Amino acid sequence: MGVQERREREKHARQEAILEAAREVFFTKGLDQTTIDDVAEQAELSKGTIYLYFKSKEELYISVFTQGIEQLTQQLNALRDQFGQRRADELVLQIKDMYYAFYHKYPEYFYIHSLLYHGRIKGKIDPVIWAASHQQTRICLQVVSDILQRGIDDGLFRPVDAWKAANSLWGAATGVMMMLDDEEHQQMVGMPAKELLDYTTELLIASLRQL
Amino acid sequence: MGVQERREREKHARQEAILEAAREVFFTKGLDQTTIDDVAEQAELSKGTIYLYFKSKEELYISVFTQGIEQLTQQLNALRDQFGQRRADELVLQIKDMYYAFYHKYPEYFYIHSLLYHGRIKGKIDPVIWAASHQQTRICLQVVSDILQRGIDDGLFRPVDAWKAANSLWGAATGVMMMLDDEEHQQMVGMPAKELLDYTTELLIASLRQL
Amino acid sequence: MGVQERREREKHARQEAILEAAREVFFTKGLDQTTIDDVAEQAELSKGTIYLYFKSKEELYISVFTQGIEQLTQQLNALRDQFGQRRADELVLQIKDMYYAFYHKYPEYFYIHSLLYHGRIKGKIDPVIWAASHQQTRICLQVVSDILQRGIDDGLFRPVDAWKAANSLWGAATGVMMMLDDEEHQQMVGMPAKELLDYTTELLIASLRQL
Amino acid sequence: MGVQERREREKHARQEAILEAAREVFFTKGLDQTTIDDVAEQAELSKGTIYLYFKSKEELYISVFTQGIEQLTQQLNALRDQFGQRRADELVLQIKDMYYAFYHKYPEYFYIHSLLYHGRIKGKIDPVIWAASHQQTRICLQVVSDILQRGIDDGLFRPVDAWKAANSLWGAATGVMMMLDDEEHQQMVGMPAKELLDYTTELLIASLRQL
DNA sequence: AATGAATGAGGATTCATTCAT
DNA sequence: AATGAATGAATCCTCATTCAT
């Protein structure tokens, strides 16, 4: 009895360890430039073992991605519980900072779009994993939308389409962060990513506010 | 004498043809998934010929990128000439539409950041070409900035930092377009990219306006 | 004491079960394309267990082969007991039908020659098992030879070399059956394997008959 | 002009050289046990070059097979031209010897059936090449059938179905040769393959003869 | 006896780049 | 200048076998 449980636990732990190692290398080198050998070495396991836990390099990659989004979702859900205690505009700013911290830890997450775009990944992974990944993103956006709606209900924001505004905020934030991700680009612009992000968010929120 | 000129002309024309072919395939498959054979076939040339004109796959890729930005720059410069005839806020909206059209034709341009980020490209290309690429981007942003400044001077916009606002607009626009680039993501959001772009731009400009 | 016997029995039963499962997959996919995982799954056992009963994939394969030939031998021996009741030419026809039925059930047995030929197997299996496999084949041929000799003694067949004729019959039967084993080849020839087998046997027996 | 011709010639010569090298190793080790490296080394070329001429290991294998059958076809066609000069039964014996010589040089050709049987090959090769391979086999059988028909028309053979008899002869010959292909099996039987082949053919022809 | 996680050698295939013609 | 044949390093994935539990 206990044996099976322990095995289960160990198996899960190993899977987590592989994901952690994979994140490390994928974020350093990108999907195409990362080899399974790289991941195996980082995880201090043999190549074959990686394939015991993940069917292909692509599935491993998307799993890393999904896990990351899950973390973000958890944070957002925790925030949701503070609905009663804070004003909606404060919550939005908190989300922004949360998102920024996430971006700093997992910048690669933003580049996955490029791979989706070219169909580089789609055909090679389990549809279930694929769907889960999309679902997570939806949940993130939904939390933002709910918060905005709350602000509207409270008379803090104008009666805009909360979902639309949430997507605007999310997209704009992503865009400015990505733009300043490149070191040289940042020097050209002459300000840190955080500053531009704050500024952009400020502009958007100001627009949403009830006059 | 005339011979040399003709040669020069032909050489340039061929280079343009290769760039055109390369754009076609790079945009369809992405850098890593594109082979030189793909480019050669598209250009109806032999593999070896490609290497007569470009030192490596990476240099070819960045050249495509640079050329694209050049086109955008030209359009923006043409706009600059209308400074006297139109209001700054109208010009900004025109730039937005121009940028959207550009994005529709060359979505890949947005993904190059991912490659820059991983250093996938930098070490393999001629520094001169590299610098030119950055310079082009600066010019684009400068035009937007100039237009905003003009709006401020005209009392149309609040006295914000034009350069900062230009970067906000550019980054936000890029972000929302990229976000809705993925077909499935677009379905999840439930609105076309253009609509979200228009909405986001509207919000930002409203914020900039003199009350 | 009784415990040991039961253990012995169980062990044997399990070995049989593995052989049965192995036959199933080996005959479907061939030696090289079959994995031990395939066998384990079919047997509803773990990979490791297979290795408790058979030293290697090759030994398992040859065991399957030997077991099949043993079945054929048993049938042939049963036939031998009818020596007194039937004419030799009738017995030969019965053997032919028996062989055809065997071929239908175990076509793979004919292909093992290819593996023997390339030495693909020899070095990897227990010599005892190997010798047993050859011995079985000899027994089959001996039964046919004995029947032919009986026909000769009875004045039914011409006084030919019974062993030689037995080998002719066996080889020819094998050849025509294998030839029509391939679906497309069969379509090309335009007749079912059984028909060609009957025809060929008829021709050979006619030749052996006393005029 | 001459350049293109020479290139063409060289290309063909290289392809032939690869086929020759491939035959060598395939016949020694069998399809599954042969690596492309083996072939490349034998051909004194690099691995990549092999793939320049053949799409996959399987296609190379079937090409070797087809080329072998082509040789046999040529020999058979040459024989056809002697129709006027020799009796049909003599021609059949000549074909038998020709087939035996072929078997001695290319024993592997007989084992290809095993690979066809398991579908090991079919899905991985160009249908055109595949069809050609079947077509060649048909031609071989047709020549034998034509000769038999000639013998029937000449009153040398009984009025049997020539196509059916041709398939019987071909299959039987293949079967006895394969059976004695294995060295140990041959020792068990106690006679060389040629002797059993001659004997079997004799029996079959005797059966076909007009009494 | 049974399990199944871990290993790592092995092999097919691809593709950027070179170079002789 | 243009070609395209040749190269061989690189990489994904498989699977027979071992071994600790």
pLDDT digits (tens, 9 = 90+) for B156-188: 999 999 999 999 999 999 999 988 887 888 999
Q: How far is the CA of C88 from the C1' of E13 (A)?
A: 58
- C116 touches D at CB < 8 Å: yes
Q: Which helix (H) or strand (E) holds A18?
A: helix A2-29
CA angle B197, B201, B202 (to 5 degrees): 115
Structural domains of chain B ordered from first start: 1-54 (1.10.10.60), 56-208 (1.10.357.10)
Q: Quick one: average pLDDT of C97-103?
A: 93
Q: Give the mutation candidate from A58, A169, A178, A205 for the B interface (greatest B CB count, under 10 A).
A: A178
Which CA distances in Å does C74 have to C17, C60, C78, C80, C136? 20, 21, 6, 10, 10
Which chain C residues have a beta carbon less than 8 Å from that of D191?
Answer: 164, 167
How much of chain C is in helix, strand and coil states, percent to nearest 5?
A: 80, 0, 20
| pLDDT band (50, 70, 90) for residue C155 | very high
Instruction: Print pLDDT tens along chain D (211 aa).
Output: 467 788 888 999 999 999 999 999 998 888 999 999 999 999 999 999 999 999 999 999 999 988 988 888 899 889 888 888 899 999 999 999 999 999 888 877 777 767 776 778 888 888 888 888 888 889 999 999 999 999 999 999 999 999 999 999 999 999 999 888 878 888 999 999 999 999 999 999 999 998 7
- A200 touches B at CB < 8 Å: yes
- B132 touches A at CB < 8 Å: no
Q: How far is CA D144 from the centre of its chain?
A: 14
Which chain A residues have a beta carbon less than 8 Å from that of B141?
Answer: 189
Task: Find, among A66, A39, A67, the residue nearest to A52 by Cα.
Answer: A39
* Least confident piece of the model among A54-58, B50-54, C83-87: C83-87
- B191 touches A at CB < 8 Å: yes
Q: How far is the CA of B52 from the C1' of E20 (A)?
A: 16
Q: How does pLDDT run across B65-98, given as a tens digit for each residue?
A: 888 888 888 998 888 888 788 999 999 999 999 9
Residues of chain A with pLDDT under 70: 1-2, 113-114, 117
Instruction: Give the separation between CA D189 and CA A191, rounded to whole angstroms.
Output: 91
Which CA distances in Å does A207 have to A201, A211, B207? 10, 9, 5
Q: Quick one: average pLDDT of B196-203?
A: 98
What is the model's pLDDT at position B143?
Answer: 94
Q: How many CA atoms lie within 13 A of D91 on its CB side?
A: 26
Question: In a 3-state reduction of DSSP, which class is residue D20?
Answer: helix
- Which residue has the closest alpha carbon to F14 C1'? A48
Instruction: Give the separation between CA C35 and CA C25, rounded to whole angstroms.
Output: 9
Q: Could A30 and B203 be called an inter-chain contact, meaning their C-beta atoms sit closer than 8 Å?
A: no
What is the model's pLDDT at position D125?
Answer: 84
Comparing alpha-carbon positions, the chain D residue that sits nearest to C203 is: D207
The answer to whether residue C90 scores a pLDDT higher than 70 is yes
Q: Is C6 exposed, middle or buried (0-12, 13-18, 19+ CB in 10 A)?
A: exposed
Written as one string, the DSSP assignment of A125-173 is: S-HHHHHHHHHHHHHHHHHHHHHHHHHHHTTSB-S--HHHHHHHHHHHH
- B173 touches A at CB < 8 Å: yes
Q: How far is the CA of C106 from the C1' of E5 (A)?
A: 35
Q: Which has the higher per-residue pLDDT, C173 or B134?
A: C173
Nearest beta carbon to residue B30 from set A120, A203, A207: A120
Comparing alpha-carbon positions, the chain A residue that sits nearest to B110 is: A114
Q: Give the mutation candidate from D58, D99, D111, D117 for the C interface (greatest C CB count, under 10 A).
A: D117
Which chain B residues have a beta carbon less than 8 Å from that of A203?
Answer: 165, 168, 203-204, 207-208
- Which residue has the closest alpha carbon to F7 C1'? D46
What is the model's pLDDT at position D113?
Answer: 66
Q: Quick one: average pLDDT of C66-87?
A: 87
Q: How many CA atoms lie within 13 A of A41 on its CB side?
A: 7
Q: How far is CA D42 from the centre of its chain?
A: 23
Other chains touching A, judged by 3 or more CB pairs under 8 Å: B
- List of residues 6+ apart from A55 with CB closer than 8 A: A125, A126
- Which residue has the closest alpha carbon to E19 C1'? B48
Which chain A residues have a beta carbon less than 8 Å from that of B168?
Answer: 172, 176, 196, 199-200, 203
Q: How far is the CA of B48 from the C1' of E19 (A)?
A: 10
Query: Which range among B6-15, B162-171, C79-88 has the greatest average pLDDT?
Result: B162-171
How many other CB atoms are there within 10 angstroms of residue D9's CB atom? 10
- C193 touches D at CB < 8 Å: no
Those nucleotides of strand F lying less than 7 Å from any protein Cβ are: 1-21
Nearest beta carbon to residue A181 from set B113, B190, B200: B113
Nearest beta carbon to residue A30 from set B114, B163, B179: B114
How many other CB atoms are there within 10 angstroms of residue D197's CB atom? 24
Tokens of A126: 């389990």
How many other CB atoms are there within 10 angstroms of residue A40's CB atom? 20
Q: Which helix (H) or strand (E) holds C90?
A: helix C88-105
CA angle D189, D192, D196 (to 5 degrees): 80
Q: Could D174 and C173 be called an inter-chain contact, meaning their C-beta atoms sit closer than 8 Å?
A: no
Nearest beta carbon to residue A118 from set B29, B116, B189: B29
Chains C, D: CB contacts under 8 A, how many?
Answer: 159
Nearest beta carbon to residue D179 from set C138, C174, C188: C174
| pLDDT band (50, 70, 90) for residue C121 | confident
- D45 touches C at CB < 8 Å: no
| Nucleotide minimizing C1' to CA distance for residue D50 | F6
Largest interatomic CA distance in chain C: 64
The answer to whether residue B1 scores a pLDDT higher than 60 is no
Q: How far is the CA of B26 from the C1' of E9 (A)?
A: 37
CA angle D74, C182, D164 (to 5 degrees): 65
Which chain D residues have a beta carbon less than 8 Å from that of C165?
Answer: 199, 203
Instruction: Give the separation between CA C88 and CA C79, rounded to whole angstroms.
Output: 11
- B157 conformational bin, left if phi > 0, alpha if psi -120 to 50, beta if neither: beta
What is the model's pLDDT at position A1?
Answer: 47
Tokens of C86: 């039937």
- Residue A30, min C-alpha distance to chain B (Å): 6
Other chains touching C, judged by 3 or more CB pairs under 8 Å: D
What is the model's pLDDT at position A34?
Answer: 95
- Which residue has the closest alpha carbon to E14 C1'? D48
How many other CB atoms are there within 10 angstroms of residue C46's CB atom? 12
Instruction: Give the separation between CA C95 and CA C102, rounded to whole angstroms.
Output: 10
Nearest beta carbon to residue D172 from set C110, C118, C172: C172
